[in-house]
Amino acid sequence: MAALGLTYARLCAGLKPARVCYGLVGCRTGLLMHLTRSLSGMTIEQIDEEVAKLLQLKAQIGDDGGKHVFVLKTAKGTRDYNPKQMAIREKVFNTIINCFKRHGAETIDTPVFELKETLTGKYGEDSKLIYDLKDQGGELLSLRYDLTVPFARYLAMNKITNIKRYHIAKVYRRDNPAMTRGRYREFYQCDFDIAGQYDPMIPDAECLRIVHEILSELELGDFRIKVNDRRILDGMFAVCGVPDDKFRTICSSVDKLDKMPWEEVKNEIVKEKGLPEEVADQIGEYVNMQAGGMALAEQLLQDPKLAKSKAACAGLTDIKLLFSFLELFKVTDKVVFDLSLARGLDYYTGVIYEAILTQAGVAPAPAPTPSPQEANGAAGDDGPVSVGSVAGGGRYDGLVGMFDPKGRKVPCVGVSIGIERIFSIMEQKAELSAEKVRTTETQVMVASAQKNLLEERLKLTSELWDAGVKAEVMYKRNPKLLSQLQHCEDTGIPLVAILGEQELKDGVVKLRTVATREEMDVSRADLVEEIRKRTSQS
Amino acid sequence: MAALGLTYARLCAGLKPARVCYGLVGCRTGLLMHLTRSLSGMTIEQIDEEVAKLLQLKAQIGDDGGKHVFVLKTAKGTRDYNPKQMAIREKVFNTIINCFKRHGAETIDTPVFELKETLTGKYGEDSKLIYDLKDQGGELLSLRYDLTVPFARYLAMNKITNIKRYHIAKVYRRDNPAMTRGRYREFYQCDFDIAGQYDPMIPDAECLRIVHEILSELELGDFRIKVNDRRILDGMFAVCGVPDDKFRTICSSVDKLDKMPWEEVKNEIVKEKGLPEEVADQIGEYVNMQAGGMALAEQLLQDPKLAKSKAACAGLTDIKLLFSFLELFKVTDKVVFDLSLARGLDYYTGVIYEAILTQAGVAPAPAPTPSPQEANGAAGDDGPVSVGSVAGGGRYDGLVGMFDPKGRKVPCVGVSIGIERIFSIMEQKAELSAEKVRTTETQVMVASAQKNLLEERLKLTSELWDAGVKAEVMYKRNPKLLSQLQHCEDTGIPLVAILGEQELKDGVVKLRTVATREEMDVSRADLVEEIRKRTSQS
């Protein structure tokens, strides 16, 4: 990915004068936009940065249009996927999509940008990470930040009250990229959500079963799924004496427990967030409880303090119900009820969950869960964590109502698979593995051992395509047999159909197995069947 | 898609004060940006438009934050895909991807935005249709306009000189949308390109074979593929006396021949473009020639006037060679050599082609070919055409060199399938057809005829998921049997596995075929196999 310099002069060689002129205008606008922006709350650093950028531009233009260094790169925080990465990506997507389909999900798609207003007020402080489009006349637009808000907009707009859908697409965040750790500004989300008014915890349990299925099938090593409930957290904070307006900020402190010891979290609660030490200690008693299953929920229901909170009791009763379903679904081996799980809570209203990989060494350096439901969660964190979060989600019963003109609610629960980190793990595994990743599916190469057989090669290739066989032919009049065979070795094509004068006379093709170098004559009439037979096992 | 009103007050109910404040800052910035932009060449109309927008904003804010009408819609020129549309889209993509894979193609992906500079100077006048991102500090970015320029950037950046790749992704154009006619501001492109230095016309012929395969397999009705060559057009214009600097504009006049009679095109050439009438008449002689095959190329090679142009002779010789390969590929029934095909020519250097549907009534109202190679071509056209262009492409040997620091060229030829129009046609067909489009792949619904069997239903469903069966279960404690059966009818689920007290006692499940209403008892041990057997035929 080395950045290459390219002289501006060369690049402009094919341009009309109008284009160059446009560049100058753009620069002048930028200068004025700088002045503008300084009025709307820029920091000193930002202004310095802008000035540097403008001076750089000015220098380039002053230089009589020459020597502009064109940097050959992708935008910051983004990457291309090469064919090998795409092959891995396709495999991961197939596993995930198969699982979603096994659970009867439909799929939808929404545009990459939404009206700016649609995203407004949904992400709290993280709104600053939203990419806005330039106002070129017309509507004010922003790139989608997740798939959940567009989903809620879609439901409200089309008055849909019942749907089980998945959506796999890219989302955009102007975050500090950490690409070696799988954190990008453009990244995929794989979301599965169930919308509708149903009996308690049945769809919620299915979401957890889906996480279990996907992580098991992808063979990423051992994992654990932590579960908690927004109502339990709220109730717990209330009975510990946290003022209502501090629930949110204390949540985000508690959320750090998987990255730092309790003492540090407590310090933050007391010194930064200004709560009395005894309140922090009471919170500590709960969040430091050993994670458990249904028994822990039972135990907490007996807790005289928590019993005072209706919200906590409702949450605990539902956790018990959830675990009874999870037992039927045979996934309790991996699921734990963990009071310290807080996640981003902007639109969560009930159960929340997060899956982490527990096997050291498999997971790459940590990256945030790119969950559509994470809101203010892990996305902004930069600190080291011991395990990797690879899925997350929860119940959000109020979001659709924010879009409905009459405020009609559509209860929703969903899960997002943190696919970028999974890609990273799979890529690492592929690199360590001896097995070569194929980037094509070609079954046979049509080759010739002698010269002047291009037409015969093309004719045979055409016949194979007609029969649905995946076949390649070299785009050379007289390629060497060796280079044709080498191409098969390089790309993993298992068979070569070799034509020669003698074969043409005999109405046969020499079919060669690349791995064993065995060759045998096959009649033209039997060729397709023979290729199918030999490639069906692989 | 009715736009729904939502009071600003309601939307803001859940917002922090910071958000509202942010809105005010944004507005103030907008006001100043208006002043800024007026300095950089806005028209009076644009200024008026901006002022109206600002006054509207001011009115909303002045109104104490109330009564802001939130419009529930997608951005102009974009649309959501509902599950039914997605099912059709998936089917079309599968056909196309299978074809690309049959021809040994790999796939890559690139980010949705590029550095603004990367797109600069590649699209001529159409650059005004590029979506820019707002300058939020950092790099200046634009949404990709096609997949070809990012592909060329990818090749140069990674020093790749040989690749056969496909890329299916959305691209963005701030065009005048005509959504009923399949023209959107966000739309898919399906590109297949062959990069590398090869012997003449072999990859070019494969691209045409691919168009033939895809259009045949999609069963869109009869079609024709027009072929021409940039060098023939240039040579023809030269020998007719068109000045070099007018080739491009005369090309775009000639390109209108499929939409208007020659007399009108000639009028444009003479009156608007200012060429002498005798030059126009000479062009007319060529472009009004009956389209043909190899024989037409032979005939033109004998043309004493064209013989003076080296470019034209080279192009004609290659067209002959191309047709010889197309005969081997058995696609000459649909391909014609047509001197009137001009297409957008910004980066084309050799053969060009375009596929049109010739069967009236199947094609929807016309829309431009969303080809990555079309450049200044059809995208801007608005007039009525009699047939629909559904694929296009050509050879572009100079584009990669524009990105290479040493200007090293990588010859490329490619084709783009105009997928949005194909979606429209398939959607129309699906609506007319009696066959219902399924949006899920669920094989069996796990139901119960009696109350209090939720746990048993969940347990059986879980067993089916374990076995890889696609199974659904209702998220209700005690759903009515009728509503469970109705769900199967509605969504096309072919089988129902019904549990009751008796069945549980006997260790069986009542398996019902929805279509025939036949029921039979199947032992639990045989259930998975029986479901597989019954759903494998469908």
Contact state of B36 with A41 under an 8 Å Cβ cutoff: no
Predicted local confidence at residue B39, as pLDDT: 40
For residue B92, CA distances in Å to B99, B357, B373, B424, B426 come to 11, 17, 21, 11, 8
Region B316-327: mean pLDDT is 98
- Cβ atoms within 10 Å of A411's Cβ, excluding its own: 20
Number of H helices, E strands in chain B: 19, 15
Give B38's pLDDT tier (boundaries 50, 70, 90).
very low
Residue A226, H or E segment: strand A223-229
Between chain A and chain B, the number of residue pairs with CB atoms below 8 A apart is 329
Residue B207: phi and psi, rounded to 5, are -60, -40
Region A232-242: mean pLDDT is 95
Q: Which residue has the higher pLDDT, B82 or B44?
A: B82
Two tokens at B474?
Answer: 């209702």
Predicted local confidence at residue A534, as pLDDT: 95
Predicted local confidence at residue B51, as pLDDT: 59
Region B198-210: mean pLDDT is 98
Q: How far apart are CA B335 and CA B212, in angstroms?
A: 9
- Asked whether residue A396 carries a pLDDT value surpassing 50, the answer given is yes
Q: What is the mean pLDDT of chain A?
A: 84
Predicted local confidence at residue B64, as pLDDT: 42
Q: Which residue has the higher pLDDT, B326 or B38?
A: B326
Conformation bin of residue B323: beta by default, left when phi > 0, alpha when psi is -120 to 50: alpha
Contact state of A111 with B78 under an 8 Å Cβ cutoff: yes
Residue B8, H or E segment: helix B8-12
Q: What is the 3-state secondary structure (H, E, C) of A174-192?
A: CCCCEHHHCECCEEEEEEE
Beta bridge partners of A195: A163, A412
Q: Is A176 on the interface with B (CB under 8 A)?
A: no
Two tokens at B209?
Answer: 């074979």
- Asked whether residue B50 carries a pLDDT value surpassing 70, the answer given is no
Tell me which of A47, A49, A107 to substitute to probe the interface with B (most B C-beta atoms closer than 10 Å).
A107
Nearest chain B residue to A163 by CA distance is B83
Predicted local confidence at residue A65, as pLDDT: 44
Predicted local confidence at residue A50, as pLDDT: 62
Predicted local confidence at residue B488, as pLDDT: 97
For residue B14, CA distances in Å to A132, A290, A401, B17, B61 come to 22, 34, 11, 10, 18
Residues B395, B401, B404, B410: is their CA dihedral positive or negative?
positive
Q: Can you give the C-alpha Rg of chain B in angstroms?
A: 29
Two tokens at A495?
Answer: 């068979």
Two tokens at B473?
Answer: 């279960």
Q: Which residue has the higher pLDDT, A94 or B33?
A: A94
Predicted local confidence at residue A47, as pLDDT: 57
- Asked whether residue B27 carries a pLDDT value surpassing 80, the answer given is no
* Residue found by looking up tokens 């699921």 in the block: A335
Conformation bin of residue A67: beta by default, left when phi > 0, alpha when psi is -120 to 50: left
Beta bridge partners of B14: none
Q: What is the mean pLDDT of chain B?
A: 85
Residues A214, A216, A218, A220: is their CA dihedral positive or negative?
positive
Two tokens at A225?
Answer: 């799924």
**Cα pseudo-dihedral A166, A171, A177, A180, rounded to 10:** 40
Predicted local confidence at residue A468, as pLDDT: 97
Strands of A412-417's sheet in order across: A106-107, A163-172, A186-195, A412-417, A388-395, A351-357, A223-229, A335-337
Please name the member of B19, B35, B143 whose beta carbon is closest to the beta carbon of A120: B19
Are A181 and A79 in contact by the 8 Å Cβ rule? The answer is no
Scanning A158-274, the segments in alpha helix (DSSP H) are 202-217, 230-240, 247-254, 262-267
Q: How far apart are CA B293 and CA B334, in angstroms?
A: 10
Q: Is A161 on the interface with B (CB under 8 A)?
A: no
Mark B45-80 as b/e (b = at least 16 C-beta within 10 Å): eeeeebeebbeebeebbeeeeeebebebbbbebbbb
Q: Is B131 on the interface with A (CB under 8 A)?
A: yes
Residues 6+ apart with CB under 8 A from B471: A102, A104, B442, B443, B444, B445, B446, B461, B464, B465, B497
* Residue found by looking up tokens 């690879």 in the block: A390
Q: Can you give the C-alpha Rg of chain A in angstroms?
A: 29
Please name the member of A82, A131, A462 whose beta carbon is closest to the beta carbon of B133: A131
Q: How far apart are CA B391 and CA A345, in angstroms?
A: 47
Q: Residue B443's closest CA among B464, B463, B466, B474?
A: B464
Tell me which of A7, A36, A151, A216 to substitute to probe the interface with B (most B C-beta atoms closer than 10 Å).
A36
Nearest chain B residue to A455 by CA distance is B328
The 3-state DSSP class for residue A351 equals strand
Q: Is A203 on the interface with B (CB under 8 A)?
A: yes
Beta bridge partners of A141: A115
Please report, as a single letter, which amino acid is at residue B472.
E
For β-strands A141-143 and B186-195, DSSP reports them as unpaired
Beta bridge partners of B274: none
Give A331's pLDDT tier (boundaries 50, 70, 90).
very high
Looking at beta carbons, which residues of chain A come within 8 Å of B442? 104
Contact state of A199 with B477 under an 8 Å Cβ cutoff: yes
Contact state of A405 with B72 under an 8 Å Cβ cutoff: yes
Predicted local confidence at residue A78, as pLDDT: 96
Q: How far apart are CA A430 and CA A439, in angstroms?
A: 13
Region B332-344: mean pLDDT is 91
Residue A94, H or E segment: helix A83-102
Are A393 and A358 in contact by the 8 Å Cβ rule? The answer is no
Predicted local confidence at residue A44, as pLDDT: 55
Looking at beta carbons, which residues of chain A come within 8 Å of B111? 74-75, 78-80, 186
* Residue found by looking up tokens 């492409």 in the block: B393
- Asked whether residue B476 carries a pLDDT value surpassing 80, the answer given is yes
Predicted local confidence at residue A373, as pLDDT: 41
**What tens digit of pLDDT does each residue of A50-64 get?**
655 665 555 444 444
Predicted local confidence at residue B69, as pLDDT: 64
Give A402's pLDDT tier (boundaries 50, 70, 90).
very high
Q: How far apart are CA B408 and CA A79, in angstroms?
A: 23
Residues 6+ apart with CB under 8 A from A215: A223, A355, A390, A391
User: Using the 8-state DSSP alphabet, how is residue B534 labeled?
Assistant: H
Q: Which residue has the higher pLDDT, B382 or A409?
A: A409
Q: What is the pTM of this model?
A: 0.83
Two tokens at A376?
Answer: 């203010």
Two tokens at A330?
Answer: 């045979």
Residue A353, H or E segment: strand A351-357
Region B289-297: mean pLDDT is 92
Range in B376-385, B408-417, B430-439 with the lowest mean pLDDT: B376-385
- Asked whether residue A415 carries a pLDDT value surpassing 50, the answer given is yes
Greatest CA separation for chain A:
95
**Greatest mean pLDDT range, A357-366, B8-17, B421-430, B505-514:** B505-514
Give A372's pLDDT tier (boundaries 50, 70, 90).
very low
Please report, as a single letter, which amino acid is at residue B346.
D
Residues 6+ apart with CB under 8 A from B32: A35, A36, A39, A40
Are B314 and B336 in contact by the 8 Å Cβ rule? The answer is no
Scanning B63-180, the segments in alpha helix (DSSP H) are 83-102, 116-119, 148-157
- Cβ atoms within 10 Å of B252's Cβ, excluding its own: 19
Predicted local confidence at residue A307, as pLDDT: 93
**What tens digit of pLDDT does each residue of B384-420 get?**
333 478 999 999 999 999 999 888 999 999 999 989 9
Residues across chain B: 538
**What tens digit of pLDDT does each residue of A498-531 get?**
999 999 999 999 999 999 999 999 999 999 999 9
Residues across chain A: 538
Our CA angle for A281, A282, A283, nearest 5°, is: 90
Are A341 and A354 in contact by the 8 Å Cβ rule? The answer is yes
Two tokens at B418?
Answer: 């105009």
User: Using the 8-state DSSP alphabet, how is residue B436 labeled?
Assistant: P
ipTM: 0.82
- Cβ atoms within 10 Å of B253's Cβ, excluding its own: 24
Complete DSSP assignment for B206-265: HHHHHHHHHHHHTT---EEEEEEEHHHHHHHHHHHT--GGGHHHHHHHHGGGGTS-HHHH
Nearest Cα of chain A lies from the Cα of B376 at a distance, in angstroms, of 14
Two tokens at A36?
Answer: 């503008």
For residue A241, CA distances in Å to A248, A305, A488 come to 14, 11, 70
Tell me which of B38, B60, B107 to substitute to probe the interface with A (most A C-beta atoms closer than 10 Å).
B107
**What tens digit of pLDDT does each residue of B121-173 get?**
888 778 889 999 999 989 999 999 999 999 999 999 999 999 999 999 999 99
